[in-house]
A and B are shown apart, each in its own frame.
Chain A
Amino acid sequence: MIRLELRGQVSERMVYCSPFFAVIMTLLSGMLIFSFLGVNPTQAIITFFVEPISSIDGIAELCVKATPLVLIAIGLSFCFKANIWNIGAEGQLTIGALAGGGLCLLFFNSSSQFLMPGMLIFGILGGMAWAGIPAFLKIRFGTNEILTSLMLTYIGLLILSYLIHGPWKDPEGQNFPESRLFQDAALLPIILDETRLHLGWIITLICVPVAWMLMTYHLIGFQIRVMGMAPMASNFAGFRGKNIIWISFLISGGLAGLAGTIEVAGPIGQIIPVISPGYGFTAIIVAFLGRLHPIGCLLSGLLMALTYLGGDNAQIELNLPNAVTGVFQGMLLFFLLASDVLVRYRIRIVSFKNKHRNIG
């Protein structure tokens, strides 16, 4: 008989231990699933988690994949800390990519050095605008942001589909639903020769400490944390709840939009029907796994990027369906949530006999 007992105080140690528990449990269950699928589990784990990063090129690729995940997860951390459930980052990413990419398509002859920075700013603004809708609806009407931000994701994806099937379709593209290729001035410079590693990674690495300072030591971060933990206390202190909702939505929407522009101006180089393989949703897991802390998000973003690379590699090497990635990600979050119970509660194992005697 297992009993949960409330700890007097949240266990600081467990906060940081539980992600590791979760990773280990996911690996073990992953091996179980692999052996179900008739694959040698050890071989599969190596194919999945080791091979993809056993070369410089692989590591560069890992950082490329981690870039959008980390950026979005940092933004979501602000929302989740404030107890605001923005789950529409995928849509904010898409609109950000359209805003940034759109600027490039508008000036497709330009080779100005201001084009690329301009695109990044437009991307941020686009993401902010899209995140601003659920924020406005929540503040003005009290509408639940979970559902509105999600519905807006579907709408954002349909806008993308409309644009590349219609007005933004490449006139010389043999009728494929794709925009024209971005000119060089619009692309993020490569920072490591012979790889796809681009400037976006540096931007991400800069965002991490900035977000950390903002979250932990700035009044804005303090207000966000207070509102998330105790909204009444936030009122008591005189913080304006509406402003906090705006700020957290705009930060997360802006970062998601930035991630979207970085994708189209980086590894993709044009606007295509599928800009993101669900980065906006996976980033939710990244944020939780990273304990809603920017540095944690960086680490867990790298790990989650690895599951994408591993999924691709497993598909090629072992002929496993790509969907294994999703199963891994889902399991990881389950195990994390499960082991998080240890943060607040102590597990007491009570033998049945003993318990009976106590009561009798």
Chain B
Amino acid sequence: MSELVVPVLLTIITASTPLVFAAAGEVVVEKSGVLNLGVEGMMIVGAVVAFAVGVKTESATLAILSGATGGMLTAFIFGFLTLRLLANQVATGLALTIFGLGLSALIGHGFVGKTFSGLPKIGIPLLEQIPVLGSLLFVHDILVFLSVIAVFLITYVLNKTRLGLIIRAVGENHHAAHSIGYSVVWVRMGCILFGGSMAGLGGAYLSLAYTPLWVEGMTAGRGWIALALVVFASWRAWRAFFGAYLFGGITIIQLHAQGFGVDIASQFLSMLPYLATIVVLVLISNNSSRMMLNAPADLGKSFHASD
């Protein structure tokens, strides 16, 4: 049994990790009161930059770092426009996605058809020898471990540290945060850049580990699913983690259903994650008062000190 199930579970982990990165990063961004709809754009730029650097240098470390940087630089455009020039966050996020998709295709033009060796697997000593569980949970590439660590860190920082308190304060009431002396713009910029690098890592995982090659538009809407996950998780990183695995699971099971000869057109199975997102969105919006407790009150509002 485990011979059949373990590979499926392993592919679920691979399919979920990009979503974990992007969603957990966006949790931080939204907690600071910023709605960055450009996750898809930041992811795909991260993916192409990581892949290009990976192919050129053959270094996994450099590839990962540049993927994160690529996402961060893309996020900086968003931060500059929305925080300094007070552009509408929704429109800027959309522009970021359109721009990111175009730019990535331009950068990736010369890398279509190239391959990357993939990320090396790392086993955690001792734990990896546990039968079944060992190979399932403790032998992975660095990014899978990093995604789990990131979720723990984000949860800890947001809830248990002063930094987290300040981030939440800025997202909750930016005028109050400003009047007691916090720089709304810089706190938000920091969160946007962090979110960008996380999205970049999610993209890098796609092009370095998930498929190890570059395909135009390869994020295929994952950035948008990550955004839905943040709402689904009611702005909690650990819930976003489980949400990402739920969605990763649906994606993979849908693939295997075809393999097991389930007689449904593949397109209908491929719709499942999108349908599930809609269903989840409906369910949580129905229960809004409870969820609102954790939603940042100033989400999506521009801040100008003299207002």
Which residues of A line the B interface, CB within 8 A? 4-6, 85, 87, 137, 141-144, 146-148, 150-152, 154-155, 158-159, 161-162, 165-166, 281-282, 284-285, 288, 321-331, 333-334, 337-338, 340-341, 344-345
Known: A142-B288, A162-B267, A334-B81. Is A326-B105 also a contact (CB below 8 A)? Answer: yes
B221–A330 contact, CB under 8 A? no
B231–A326 contact, CB under 8 A? no
A67 to chain B, nearest CB (A): 20
Binds A, one of B113-121, B163-171, B200-208, B277-285: B277-285
Q: How far is the CA of A345 from the CA of B102 in the complex (A)?
A: 31
B102–A341 contact, CB under 8 A? no
Chain A residues with Cβ below 8 Å from B56 are none
Binds A, one of B26-34, B90-98, B150-158, B187-195: B90-98
A-B pair count, CB < 8 Å, reads 141
A141–B275 contact, CB under 8 A? no
Chain A residues with Cβ below 8 Å from B228 are 147, 151
Q: How far is the CA of A288 from the CA of B109 in the complex (A)?
A: 29
Chain A residues with Cβ below 8 Å from B102 are 323-330
| Consensus secondary structure, chain A interface | helix
Q: How far is the CA of A343 from the CA of B216 in the complex (A)?
A: 37
Chain A residues with Cβ below 8 Å from B77 are 334
Report the nearest B residue to A345, measured CB to CB: B86
A6–B91 contact, CB under 8 A? no
Q: How far is the CA of A344 from the CA of B86 in the complex (A)?
A: 10
Known: A321-B109, A338-B87, A340-B87. Is A285-B224 also a contact (CB below 8 A)? Answer: no
Chain A residues with Cβ below 8 Å from B267 are 158-159, 161-162, 165
Q: Does B15 contact A (CB under 8 A)?
A: no
Q: Which of A141, A323, A329 has the most CB of B within 10 A?
A: A323
A8 to chain B, nearest CB (A): 12
Q: Which of A324, A329, A341 contacts B85 (CB 8 A)?
A: A341
A336 to chain B, nearest CB (A): 8
Q: How far is the CA of A168 from the CA of B101 in the complex (A)?
A: 31
Q: How far is the CA of A154 from the CA of B278 in the complex (A)?
A: 12
Q: How far is the CA of A144 from the CA of B282 in the complex (A)?
A: 9
Known: A141-B286, A344-B86. Is A326-B99 also a contact (CB below 8 A)? Answer: yes
Q: Does B274 contact A (CB under 8 A)?
A: yes
Report the nearest A residue to B112, measured CB to CB: A321
A303 to chain B, nearest CB (A): 15
Q: Does B8 contact A (CB under 8 A)?
A: no
A347 to chain B, nearest CB (A): 10
Q: Is the interface on chain B under 10, 10 to 19, 20 to 34, or 35 or more residues?
A: 35 or more
Report the nearest A residue to B85, measured CB to CB: A341
Chain B residues with Cβ below 8 Å from A284 are 91, 94, 98
A72 to chain B, nearest CB (A): 14
B90–A321 contact, CB under 8 A? no
Report the nearest B residue to A329, measured CB to CB: B98
B224–A151 contact, CB under 8 A? yes
Q: Does B263 contact A (CB under 8 A)?
A: no
Report the nearest B residue to A133, measured CB to CB: B278
Q: Which of B86, B100, B106, B274 contacts A324 (CB 8 A)?
A: B106
Q: Which of A144, A158, A328, A340 contacts B285 (CB 8 A)?
A: A144
Chain B residues with Cβ below 8 Å from A324 are 102, 106
B10 to chain A, nearest CB (A): 26
Q: Does B268 contact A (CB under 8 A)?
A: yes
4 closest A-B pairs (Cβ-Cβ)?
A326-B102, A330-B99, A323-B105, A333-B95
Chain A residues with Cβ below 8 Å from B88 are 337
B103–A327 contact, CB under 8 A? yes
A327–B99 contact, CB under 8 A? yes
Q: How far is the CA of A135 from the CA of B12 in the complex (A)?
A: 33
